[in-house]
Amino acid sequence: MSGDFEMINLNSGQRLTIQMDGTELRDQVAPPSIEWCDRGEHFVAKDSGNYTGEGASQLWICLECKKQ
C-alpha cells in the first residue's frame, strides 16, 4: 500500500499533507462544501442535494439517495 495522507480543516481551509517519507506539507486551500446525507449516512458535495422538513425534523438528503 502506498500513498500520501491529506487532511483539510473544513472551517479554515488549512491542509496538512503527510507524504510517504514522513514529510509534512501545510498550506491553505478553499475548503470543499460538503454536507451529511441523513438518509444514506455519508458526506457528499453540498450542491447535490437539499433539505426536507422543518425545525427539528429537518433533514438533508443527497440527490443519489433521493432517487432511491
Residue 1 banded pLDDT, cuts 50, 70, 90: very low
CA 11 – CA 7 distance, rounded (Å) = 12
Determine contact, residues 44/33, Cβ cutoff 8 Å: no
Residue 3, classed as helix, strand or coil, is coil
pTM: predicted TM-score of the whole model, two decimal places: 0.56
DSSP string, 11-61: TT-EEEEE-TTS-EEEEE-PPP-EEEETTTTEEEETTSEEEES-GGG-EEE
Q: What is the pLDDT of residues 12-32, one digit of tens each?
A: 999 999 999 999 999 999 988
